[in-house]
Amino acid sequence: MKTVDLDVAGWEEVYPGVRRRTASAERMTLTLYRFDSGAAFPMHHHDQEQLALVRRGAVEFHNARARITCRANELIIIPPNEPHGATAGPEGADVVSVVSPARRGVGDYTVEGSG
């Protein structure tokens, strides 16, 4: 067993108003996201299956077919390679994300339209 203190690393801003803290194990990666009001994570896809649990506020998750708003204590399951994005509501949001298998690096996803 091993413990990880996510406070040690501090927050990394990945997109304007979207910050994260990340920890990985052998088979999964956990990321804490903090969204400012209206902040967005762009459409992207990755090889991992993802569970995203909203802990505070609300987030609209979207893909080419649907827009789904999750509020505190609701989660969404995103299949591998499914393009998706996320936009926080007016109060901002805190999200706990778990992907499996583990990410190979913090940028282990492809933003839609970026190549």
Distance CA 47, CA 44 (A): 11
Closest CA to 71 of 62, 79, 63, 60: 60
Predicted confidence (pLDDT) at residue 108 exceeds the cutoff of 90: no
- The amino acid at residue 89 is G
4-24 pLDDT per residue, tens: 898 887 899 999 999 999 999
| Whole-number pLDDT of residue 113 | 75
Q: What topology is assigned to 12-103 in CATH?
A: Jelly Rolls (2.60.120)
- 73 torsion bin: left (phi>0), alpha (psi -120 to 50), beta (else): left
Beta strands in 1-115 (DSSP E): 12-15, 18-24, 29-35, 40-45, 49-62, 67-71, 75-78, 84-100, 110-111
pLDDT bucket at 114, cuts 50 / 70 / 90 = low
| pTM passes above 0.75 | yes
